[in-house]
Structure 1
Amino acid sequence: MRLPDRVYAVCSEVPPEVVGGLGRYAERMMPVLGECGVPIVVFGTAGRGRARRTERSGDVTLHRLTAAGLGLAGNPRLPRALRLLARTAGLLVFNLRAAVRILRAEAGRTRAERLGAVVAVHDWMGCPAGIVCGLLGRMPVVFHVHTRELNAAPERRRPPHAALLDALETVQARMARLIVVPSAAMRDELAAGGWPADRIRLVPHGFEDPELLRLAGLPGEERDRMRREVRRRYLPEGRGRLVVFAGRLSPHKGVHTLVRAVPRIAARHAGTRVVLIGAEPPHTGEAAVLTRSIEETGVAAQVVAENRFLPPAEVFAHFLAADVCVFPSVYEPFGLVAVEAMALARPVVVGPGFSSEVVGDGALRCAHDDPQELAEALLRCLDDPREAAGLAHRGAEHVRRHYSWALTGERTLAVYAEAMR
Structure 2
Amino acid sequence: MRILLLSWEYPPHVVGGLGRHVGALARALADAGHEVHVVTRDLPDAPEVRDAIEDGVHVVRIPEAPPVIGFDQLVAWVLAFNNRIQAVAGRLLREREFDVIHAHDWLVGYAAAGLKETWDVPVVATVHATEYGRHQGWLPGPMNKLIHQVEWWLTYEARRVIVCSAYMRTELEQIFALPPEKLDIVPNGVDVRDFVVAPEEAAEMRASLTGPRTRMILFAGRLEYEKGVQTLLAALQDVRQRVGPTRLFVAGVGTYSEELRREVRRRKLRHHVRFAGFLPDHDLRLHFGAADVAVVPSIYEPFGLVAVEAMACGTPVVVGDTGGLREIVADGSGLSFTPQEPTELADALVRVLTDRELAEDLVQRGHARARDRYDWGSVARRTVEVYAQARREEAALRGTEERQPLRPVLRAAAILELDEAG
TM-score range (shorter-chain normalised) is: 0.7 to 0.9
* Corresponding letter in the other structure for 2:243: H
> CA separation in 2, counterparts of 1:57 and 1:322?
32
The answer to whether 1:200 aligns with 2:183 is yes
Aligned to 1:270: 244
CA contact (8 A) 2:136 2:300 kept: no
> CA separation in 2, counterparts of 1:371 and 1:277?
20
CA contact (8 A) 2:220 2:251 kept: yes
CA contact (8 A) 1:28 1:405 kept: yes
CA contact (8 A) 1:12 1:126 kept: yes
* Corresponding letter in the other structure for 1:241: R
Aligned to 2:327: 357
* 1:232 to partner: Cα distance: 2.5
Aligned residue among 124, 127, 148 for 1:145: 127
Aligned to 1:41: 37
> CA separation in 2, counterparts of 1:60 and 1:131?
23
> CA separation in 1, counterparts of 2:61 and 2:192?
23
Give a deviation string over 1:168-214, Cα, whole Å, max 9, x none: 1111111210001111111121112212321111111211165413x
Q: Using CA pairs below 8 Å that are at least 6 residues apart, which structure has the higher relative contact order? A: 2
The answer to whether 1:310 aligns with 2:292 is no
Give a deviation string over 1:80-107, Cα, whole Å, max 9, x none: xxx1144442232221222233344445
Aligned to 1:62: 59
SS in 2 for 1:72: coil
RMSD over aligned Cα atoms: 2.2
Give a deviation string over 1:32-79, Cα, whole Å, max 9, x none: 12233332221000114579811024752110012422x113xxxxxx
* Corresponding letter in the other structure for 1:290: L
* Corresponding letter in the other structure for 1:365: S
Aligned to 1:80: none
* 1:154 to partner: Cα distance: 5.4
The answer to whether 1:235 aligns with 2:210 is yes
SS in 1 for 2:68: helix
CA contact (8 A) 1:234 1:273 kept: no
* 1:375 to partner: Cα distance: 0.6
* 1:270 to partner: Cα distance: 2.8
Aligned to 2:343: 372
The answer to whether 1:19 aligns with 2:1 is no
The answer to whether 1:95 aligns with 2:79 is no
* Corresponding letter in the other structure for 2:127: V
1:207-218 matches, within 5 Å, as 207-208=190-191, 211-213=194-196, 215=197, 218=198
SS in 2 for 1:400: helix
> CA separation in 1, counterparts of 2:94 and 2:126?
25
> Taking structure 1 as the reference length, what is the TM-score of the superposition?
0.86
Taking structure 1 as reference, are residues 49 and 243 closer, same or farther at Cα in structure 2, changes over 3 Å only? same
* Corresponding letter in the other structure for 1:64: R
1:280-319 matches, within 5 Å, as 280=254, 284=255, 286-306=256-276, 308-319=277-288
The answer to whether 1:122 aligns with 2:118 is no
> CA separation in 2, counterparts of 1:209 and 1:324?
18
> CA separation in 2, counterparts of 1:291 and 1:61?
41
> CA separation in 1, counterparts of 2:95 and 2:295?
53
> CA separation in 2, counterparts of 1:87 and 1:54?
26
Give the number of equivalent residue pairs: 387
CA contact (8 A) 1:203 1:408 kept: yes
Structure 2 gaps of 5+ residues are 393-422
> CA separation in 2, counterparts of 1:127 and 1:33?
22
> CA separation in 1, counterparts of 2:123 and 2:389?
11
Moved more, 359-368 or 242-251: 359-368
Structure 1 gaps of 5+ residues are 74-82
The answer to whether 1:162 aligns with 2:144 is yes
> Taking structure 2 as the reference length, what is the TM-score of the superposition?
0.86
* 1:368 to partner: Cα distance: 3.3
CA contact (8 A) 1:72 1:86 kept: no
CA contact (8 A) 1:276 1:303 kept: yes
